[in-house]
Chains A and B, each alone.
Chain A
Amino acid sequence: MPPALSVTGLRKAYGPVQALRGVDLELEAGELFGLLGPNGAGKSTLVKIACGLVRQSAGDVRVRGHPAGSPEAHAQFGYLAELFRFPEWCTADELLGLHQQLIGSPGGEAERRELLALVELGHVPDRRIGAMSRGMQQRLGLAQALLGGPRLLLLDEPTSALDPAGRHTVRSLLEVLRERGVSVLLNSHLLSEVELVCDRVAIIDGGAVVAAGTPAQLSRPGGVEVETAAGARTFADARREDAPRIVRELVAAGEDVYSVRVLTSTLEDAYLEAVGRSPAGPREEIAALGEAGR
């Protein structure tokens, strides 16, 4: 079976600006893949090329084996754009009905009801979109992307307008989709969210993939922290397997050990490192400013 999404040597230039400089990615069936990167890194351009909204300058993008932009490829995925709007005059139910007609989904009212319930909008099928909050519209966008049961979802910042409860709903939904074998490409700025749900992550910066792997692979050992009667002590160079030895030595030295914590860097640390920013950078800059001000 071909990959859900395969990107090979993808390049895109907007005039003199190189938005993508040879990106390679592969998204397997049922995989949740996180795409991270600073603003202007090329993430949205990559997703738009996969959707056929933007034409690549070079390289190949295939959706379940079909060239991106082809009718066959379009029939395979659902998409939620970062900046989207639905006609304010129509209701949630009418909008889903229009998209059902366009994709030829025979699901009818039952499908619309199921999807609205899935994104917790089941109580407002007849509400005008203009009367919905931005968060509700974003959840409606997700329902629209799920019409017809696509095997691949391309989500560009799907939780940017959601409150914590709304984000939790989307996370749960993504997990349900993974169980059903749906592949998801999640383009998000919310690193904690990506870390929680994604199987693999790619970090893009300056139009190129600068780091990729599972969240665990991208994280790095950060030492071992031991709490004793004298306070917390950090063994910065220690790894997980060193923890029993450290505890034994401390106990042998007559210290009481209350807790042991193996430290790892977060995805945020890995991200900041990958895009060339020190996690402590802003703090150091602010401290330097403070010194200069004295």
Chain B
Amino acid sequence: MSTPLEPPGRLRAALIVARFSLRESLRRRVFVVIAVLTLIFLVLYGLATWQAFEAADEFGTGTASGVDAGTVVGATMAGLAMFATLFLGTILAVFLTLGAVRGDAERGLLQPLLVRPLPRHTLLLGRWLGATAVCAPYVVVIALASFALTRALGGWWPDRLAGPLLGLALGVAIIAALSLAGSIVLASTANGIAVFMLFGAGLTAGLLGQIAEAIGSDGLDDIARVATWALPFEALYQAGLAEITIDTVGFARLAIDLGPFGGAEAAGAGLWLWSLGYLAAVGGAAVAAFARRDL
């Protein structure tokens, strides 16, 4: 029974854990449930978009009225799709990670893995990679499908594509990291509640920014900006919203800004650097907390 062991390196061990997490999702039919519910969402979105463009046709899609109603409807519906996509991606990220440490430790699932020479930080990295490998492609595919539906039904296509898609993907990766970090100190239910409250706080910060834009309040705008950057998944979403209509000008621009997804704050490379740094900081804090935890 005695054989010389060749333990995998840290990255390979993390990939083994990530692959095992993915296989668990596949075997527990998580993907089937996601696919069915997403299909329902896309059907509903398609119906709503079709109806919205129909209404816009009655209003007049040309520029004779001064407003390109098709652009306004397309951008607004795409904004809605991005919000729904982030929300669905958040649900997925949270449910894949909310009990990853404390929950699994209490159920006795974690101990047999950790006593193998599997460092705790490697386990965390593996679980995060596994969750992100599901959530990030998911939000990219759903957002793309929504944009494609918007184009098929009304001829509208976002001005920029890569930035908003990558922003959503990084956003859910950050949420997965927050949820994973929370799972070290909180029981599963408490962690789920905490992460959804953070998501809600980000959403509120975004709405505050829109109100600030509408009423021209610099103070409120500052509060909203600080809050969204403190929860960068919201800032990334806002930046994506801004980018999908970045080349839109004139009355259509004004109409979009006054709409429910208007007033989004564009951001540059600084936001990306900040988000990556934030992700690293959450990861570092999680590793430090896990290292001190008795199991």
Contact = CB atoms under 8 A, between A and B. Distances in A.
Interface of A: 14, 48, 51-55, 71, 74-75, 77, 79-81, 83-87, 89-90, 98-99, 101-107, 111, 114-115, 141, 144, 146, 148-149, 151, 180
Contact of B116 (A86, A90, A103, A106): A103
Contacts of B4: 106
A75 B117 contact: yes
Interface in B28-77: 28
6 contacts: A53-B111, A79-B111, A86-B109, A101-B8, A106-B4, A114-B1
A50 to B, nearest CB: 10
Nearest to B16: A101
Contacts of A102: 7-8, 13, 16, 113, 116-118
B108 A148 contact: no
A87 B109 contact: yes
B108 to A, nearest CB: 4
Contact of A149 (B3, B6, B111, B117): B3
A106 to B, nearest CB: 6
Given A103-B117, A104-B5, A105-B3, A87 B112 contact: no
Nearest to A50: B115
Contact of A103 (B5, B23, B114, B292): B5
Contacts of A107: 3
A77 B115 CA distance: 9
A103 B8 CA distance: 7
B112 A144 contact: yes
A53 B114 contact: yes
- Binding site secondary structure of chain B: loop
A86 B112 CA distance: 8
B3 A79 contact: no
A63 to B, nearest CB: 11
Contacts of A106: 3-6
A99 B117 CA distance: 10
Closest CB pairs A-B (n = 9): A149-B2, A104-B6, A104-B7, A149-B1, A74-B117, A84-B108, A85-B108, A54-B294, A53-B295
A89 B112 contact: no
B114 A89 contact: no
B24 interface: yes
Contacts of B292: 55
Q: Which of B8, B116, B294 has the most C-beta atoms of chain A within 10 angstroms of its own C-beta?
A: B116
Contacts of B112: 79-81, 84, 86, 99, 141, 144
B116 A74 contact: yes
B20 A98 contact: yes
Nearest to A53: B295
Nearest to A114: B1
A85 B3 contact: no
Chain B CB within 10 Å, residue with most, of A87, A90, A107, A144: A87
Contacts of A111: 1, 3
A84 B16 contact: no
A147 to B, nearest CB: 9
B27 A90 contact: yes
A71 B117 CA distance: 6
A103 B7 contact: yes
Contacts of A89: 24, 27-28
B111 A148 contact: no
A105 B112 CA distance: 16
Contacts of B20: 98
A34 B273 CA distance: 56
B7 A75 contact: yes
Contacts of A180: 1-2
Contacts of B116: 74, 99, 102-103
A90 to B, nearest CB: 7
